[in-house]
Chain A
Amino acid sequence: MELISHLGIGLEAILTWQNLGYCFLGVLLGTLIGVLPGLGPVATIAMLLPVTYGLPPLSALIMLAGIYYGAQYGGSTTAILVNLPGESSSVVTCLDGYAMARQGRAGAALGVAALGSFFAGTVATLVIAAAAAPLAELALKFGPAEYFSLMLLGLIAAVVLAQGDVFKAVAMVVLGLLLGLVGTDVSSGAERFTFGIPELADGISFVVLSMGLFGIAEIIVNLEQTNGRDVFTARIGSLLPSREDMRRSWKPALRGTALGSVLGILPGGGAVLSSFSSYTLEKRLAADPTRFGKGAIEGVAGPEAANNAGAQTSFIPLLVMGLPSNPVMALMVGAMMIHGIVPGPQVMEERPALFWGLIVSMWIGNLFLVLLNMPLIGLWVRLLKVPYRLLYPVILLFCCIGVYSVNNSAFEVGLTLFFGVLGYFFVKLRCEPAPLLLGFVLGPMMEENLRRAMLLARGDVGVFFTRPISLALLAASAVLLAILAWPRARKARDLAFQE
């Protein structure tokens, strides 16, 4: 009952024309910057911070939060239509979403992504309202040893992600780990692989790498095709998901929501891990895993639900403990501090209207998003009819603006082009960039936490096996490794049955 009275406080706070207006403005802006490749919520929120000075704190936070989860919706649109992941969490959406678009099923993919995200957003909002405090306590139990074991599990899952050769996938993960090493070593302060270039002292940015490997490489490949004006089948197909699509999607969306809600709470890799692990899970559970990577709708529904749920629950550590779990949340801390609110456990008690208002606004924002995005699907799909020779310069331009906006650095724009060319060679060599990106994101965190855990344990490896959460994660990694060999066995069995 307490829950209902809390939601009542929130509803009362947000149901003013002004707050609803800022909520809508936020999600609209978020959708737009999400759709534009490269422009991300970090740069947008940073630019809007000064504007929020003049607003009441609740309106400001509602708008900034709307930009964040709105960008998650918009980001999947670009991933599906032009194979550009705007956010680390939409990398996996590219795999099957873009394959669907090329088969003329972009509408179905977009529809399932929007509905799956709405469902996940609704559930995650309830999770925040009901269980924020206990969940935050769980996050506090995650020390360096637990993080190391979680990252290990994630890396093994990355290999499962790959479509083809396991050997190539491992090679790509290792390359990702190496790229992740670029920059200043946290423990010693020494620079690694920076070649004296100050711009590399903080490592390669994720946006640079993903934009190059996915977006720019894809453009080069498309331009190479001689008949190439029509990258997409002329037939657009149904704009909405069919009954069959929905039947295939609801379970993955449900599982994705659960995964995302839990993993989103963890700082750092939470949002990325949730979409990656949801994809891995669906591929494992599928009757025919070979469909994945070739337009399996489950591969869109699950990860999309997971990343939206994760985006929502990543507010928990911020709201309950004042701990930002990703760069956007760090900006939200800044936005709150500008208004003289120090985020932390006291916010819930001292400013209930603000706290619950923000939470209720997330559900209302998700509602706006689905109402906004469903009619827009027709428009987005029609965008694919634009001749590619007109479309690709626009994509390139936005990629450059987007990359520049992250750190105001021209060096990073050049680096993106470099990775674009590298990505083109990967396509030629039939190497998947997704495992590389996961290795890149998880590798540095894994190293940092490994060294930290070992230092705290004064060199005793046993720490990974004596802490229960860490042990459970390591056991899960072992199980996953064991079943890596399984599909081969199953394939042989399937063949035998066909004979």
Chain B
Amino acid sequence: MIMKTGFPLFAVLLVFGLLELSQAAHAEYPERPVKVIVPYPAGGIVDVATRIVTERLARNWGQPVLVENRPGANGNIGAAAVKNAAPDGYTLLVGSTFLVLNPLLDRNSKVSSEDFAPIGTLGIPPNLLAVPAASPARSLRDFIALAKARPGQLNATNPGIGSSNHLGTEVFSSLAGIELTQVNYKGQPPFIPDLLNGQIDFAFISAALAAPHIRSGKLRPLAVSYDKRLKSHPALPTVGELGYPEATVLPWTGFFVPAKTPAPITRRLAAELKKALQDAEVIRRNDALEAVNPDLFLEDFARFLDSETRRWRKVIAERRLQAE
């Protein structure tokens, strides 16, 4: 905003100048507002999961933490913006599985996980394997038997190529030796009506989106695609318990900074994130979202990213998932 008269502008500069001086004295990060770029639309699951943490960070730091939504091109636009930002810890990216998958699926992808230094994971709802209430399948074993009896005739959803739901469905089908027809949608919410009214027979669906329909009895969860049971569904087995540990496909999400960010800043950010995640209010809000967190920070997170890259390179080659 440009001021017309000289005086207010001067006053603003003066105030900022003084702030600058006073902060230079103890020069502790962060000394100005921090920007967090979410490469998805506002109000989506990743956006909500991010704001749960940024709100706590802003209070801990006494500095505004601005969440900026830069959706588009499956995360590439927001990620490219952070990749080119100054590596000073003031611009963070909320990265997700797309950082690993885009380079594997699209040769022209301009960003990859190697452009960033990982800070730590955020809480995110895992996927559930679910069928509509009218389905005769009472358990995952039932569903597999059903699908084997009718190969290619049952419909599953695919809310986006390379999404955790898509990959989860592929891996699970391959492990169980079943063949499902995948129907494409733009994101998860649009497929819910077709799943509830039975036109779709099976879905890998985010626990946050499935919860209200499970409670109203319209949707039946068969398993959770995570290595621990959910607090909200203690009776629901994990895919590992049912014999398909490989079908654990978490839409993991975490903070990243540009690759050249100095180590003291990444360590500081990781410690701050860890502290924020232990806050009672943050835990309560994450629970309400059905979120789980593998609690990976810095080096552990980096090792996890490497294993993800190896894992998906193999699956994509085996299942021929690359878009032409």
Q: Which residues of A are at the interface with B, using a C-beta cutoff of 8 A? A: 42, 45-46, 49-50, 53, 139-144, 184, 186-190, 196, 198-199, 201-202, 267, 321-324, 327, 330-335, 337-338, 340-346, 407-409, 448, 451-452, 455-456
B1-52 interface (Cβ within 8 A of A)? 41-45, 47-48, 51-52
A sample of 19 inter-chain contacts (CB < 8 A) reads A45-B42, A46-B42, A46-B69, A50-B67, A139-B193, A143-B193, A188-B161, A188-B324, A189-B161, A189-B323, A202-B71, A322-B213, A330-B44, A330-B189, A332-B43, A337-B289, A345-B216, A452-B183, A455-B181
A344 CA / B215 CA spacing, docked (Å): 9
A321 CA / B209 CA spacing, docked (Å): 11
A332 CA / B183 CA spacing, docked (Å): 27
A186 CA / B284 CA spacing, docked (Å): 36
- Residues of B close to A452: CB separation below 8 A: 183-185
A187 CA / B185 CA spacing, docked (Å): 8
Most buried by B among A139, A332, A456: A456
Instruction: Name the CB-closest residue of B to A444.
Output: B186
- Residues of B close to A344: CB separation below 8 A: 211-213, 215-216
Interface bits B176-199 vs A (CB < 8 Å: 1, else 0): 000001011110011011101101
Known: A143-B199, A321-B212, A407-B72. 15 other contacts (CB 8 A): A50-B67, A189-B323, A190-B323, A196-B108, A198-B80, A330-B43, A334-B47, A337-B208, A337-B288, A340-B285, A342-B208, A407-B69, A407-B71, A451-B184, A452-B184
- Residues of A close to B215: CB separation below 8 A: 344-346
Instruction: Name the CB-closest residue of A to B152.
Output: A458
- Residues of A close to B110: CB separation below 8 A: 198
Nearest 9 A/B pairs, CB to CB: A344-B212, A334-B43, A340-B288, A46-B42, A189-B161, A201-B73, A331-B43, A189-B323, A198-B73
**Docked-complex contact A334 and B42, CB < 8 angstroms:** yes
Instruction: Name the CB-closest residue of B to A345.
Output: B216
Interface presence of B155 (CB below 8 A): yes
- Residues of A close to B48: CB separation below 8 A: 334, 337-338
Within the complex, which residue of B42, B74, B199, B324 is in contact with A201, where a contact is CB–CB below 8 Å? Answer: B74
**Docked-complex contact B285 and A199, CB < 8 angstroms:** no
Most buried by B among A190, A407, A408: A408
A200 CA / B30 CA spacing, docked (Å): 35
Interface presence of B77 (CB below 8 A): yes
Cβ of A152 to closest chain B Cβ, rounded Å: 19
A196 CA / B73 CA spacing, docked (Å): 11
**Docked-complex contact A53 and B55, CB < 8 angstroms:** yes
Instruction: Name the CB-closest residue of A to B43.
Output: A334
Chain B interface extent, by class? 35 or more
**Docked-complex contact A407 and B70, CB < 8 angstroms:** yes
Within the complex, which residue of B70, B184, B284, B289 is in contact with A408, where a contact is CB–CB below 8 Å? Answer: B70
Instruction: Name the CB-closest residue of A to B285.
Output: A340
Cβ of B153 to closest chain A Cβ, rounded Å: 8
Cβ of B97 to closest chain A Cβ, rounded Å: 15
**Docked-complex contact B55 and A199, CB < 8 angstroms:** no
Interface bits B225-249 vs A (CB < 8 Å: 1, else 0): 0000000000000000000000000
A302 CA / B72 CA spacing, docked (Å): 36
Given contacts A50-B55, A334-B43, contact A202 B73 (CB under 8 A): yes
A202 CA / B161 CA spacing, docked (Å): 14
- Residues of B close to A408: CB separation below 8 A: 68-70
A140 CA / B208 CA spacing, docked (Å): 20
A189 CA / B108 CA spacing, docked (Å): 14
Given contacts A198-B110, A331-B43, contact A49 B189 (CB under 8 A): no
**Docked-complex contact A50 and B51, CB < 8 angstroms:** yes
**Docked-complex contact B43 and A335, CB < 8 angstroms:** yes
Cβ of B104 to closest chain A Cβ, rounded Å: 13
Interface presence of B76 (CB below 8 A): yes
- Residues of B close to A334: CB separation below 8 A: 42-44, 47-48
A116 CA / B296 CA spacing, docked (Å): 56
Interface bits B295-324 vs A (CB < 8 Å: 1, else 0): 000000000000000000000000000011
**Docked-complex contact A324 and B189, CB < 8 angstroms:** yes
Given contacts A53-B55, A337-B208, contact A199 B43 (CB under 8 A): no
- Residues of A close to B162: CB separation below 8 A: 189
Within the complex, which residue of B76, B185, B212 is in contact with A343, where a contact is CB–CB below 8 Å? Answer: B212
Most buried by B among A201, A267, A338, A346: A338
A338 CA / B50 CA spacing, docked (Å): 10
A62 CA / B55 CA spacing, docked (Å): 22
Cβ of A58 to closest chain B Cβ, rounded Å: 17
Cβ of B203 to closest chain A Cβ, rounded Å: 14
- Residues of B close to A141: CB separation below 8 A: 197
- Residues of B close to A188: CB separation below 8 A: 161, 323-324
Cβ of A367 to closest chain B Cβ, rounded Å: 28
- Residues of A close to B105: CB separation below 8 A: 189
**Docked-complex contact B108 and A201, CB < 8 angstroms:** no
Instruction: Name the CB-closest residue of A to B181.
Output: A455
Instruction: Name the CB-closest residue of B to A54.
Output: B55
**Docked-complex contact A330 and B41, CB < 8 angstroms:** yes
- Residues of B close to A337: CB separation below 8 A: 45, 48, 208, 288-289
**Docked-complex contact B67 and A199, CB < 8 angstroms:** no
**Docked-complex contact A190 and B324, CB < 8 angstroms:** yes
A172 CA / B247 CA spacing, docked (Å): 48
Cβ of A22 to closest chain B Cβ, rounded Å: 19
Cβ of A116 to closest chain B Cβ, rounded Å: 30
A143 CA / B193 CA spacing, docked (Å): 8
Cβ of B61 to closest chain A Cβ, rounded Å: 15
B122-170 interface (Cβ within 8 A of A)? 155, 161-162
A332 CA / B55 CA spacing, docked (Å): 18
Within the complex, which residue of B44, B72, B196, B216 is in contact with A202, where a contact is CB–CB below 8 Å? Answer: B72
A393 CA / B323 CA spacing, docked (Å): 45
Instruction: Name the CB-closest residue of B to A455.
Output: B183
- Residues of A close to B184: CB separation below 8 A: 186-187, 451-452
Within the complex, which residue of B71, B212, B289 is in contact with A345, where a contact is CB–CB below 8 Å? Answer: B212
A448 CA / B193 CA spacing, docked (Å): 15
**Docked-complex contact B68 and A327, CB < 8 angstroms:** no
Interface bits B51-84 vs A (CB < 8 Å: 1, else 0): 1100100000000000111111110110010000
A267 CA / B190 CA spacing, docked (Å): 8
**Docked-complex contact B69 and A142, CB < 8 angstroms:** no
Most buried by A among B41, B80, B215: B41
Within the complex, which residue of B51, B80, B194, B324 is in contact with A49, where a contact is CB–CB below 8 Å? Answer: B51
**Docked-complex contact A199 and B73, CB < 8 angstroms:** yes
- Residues of B close to A189: CB separation below 8 A: 105, 161-162, 323
Instruction: Name the CB-closest residue of B to A457.
Output: B199
A332 CA / B184 CA spacing, docked (Å): 25
**Docked-complex contact A323 and B189, CB < 8 angstroms:** yes
**Docked-complex contact B289 and A140, CB < 8 angstroms:** no
- Residues of B close to A50: CB separation below 8 A: 51, 55, 67
Cβ of A334 to closest chain B Cβ, rounded Å: 3
**Docked-complex contact A342 and B196, CB < 8 angstroms:** no
- Residues of B close to A407: CB separation below 8 A: 69-72
Instruction: Name the CB-closest residue of A to B323.
Output: A189
Cβ of A330 to closest chain B Cβ, rounded Å: 5
**Docked-complex contact A333 and B76, CB < 8 angstroms:** no
**Docked-complex contact A322 and B212, CB < 8 angstroms:** yes
